[in-house]
Amino acid sequence: MPLVNCPACEHPTSSEATACPQCGHPFKALTIEATAKEWKFLKIIGAIIVLGSMGAGEVLSVLFETPVPLIFGGVVASGGLVIAIYGAIGGWWDNG
């Protein structure tokens, strides 16, 4: 097990530890959170695209009495779903 210095108190700590045993600084948890944020961002963007395109498609379909916006919204929503799944898999790949 390699030793790393705690960023808060410089105490040599195992790189496997989630927090410094001397001062309790959670240095490993912070790096996990930082990498996961990019994937979370992808998942949020994907969810917004799915909900936004489906909602807009439904509203426009009712408004103009044609199913075309609904179909188009469905296609865009599929793209958003792919982005969300990519974010979910990426987050799992990075941390699992």
From candidates 5, 14, 23, 31, binder to Zn ion by CB under 5 A: 23
The yes or no reply on residue 83 touching Zn ion (CB under 5 A) is no
Q: For Zn ion, how many residues bind (rule: CB under 5 A)?
A: 8
Which region among 16-24, 43-51, 66-74, 86-94 touches Zn ion (by CB under 5 A)? 16-24
Cα–Cα distances in Å, from 22 out to 10, 12, 45, 57, 78?
Answer: 10, 9, 40, 56, 49
Which stretches of 1-96 are DSSP H helices? 27-64, 68-95
Interface ranges with Zn ion (CB under 5 A): 6, 8-9, 11, 20, 22-23, 25
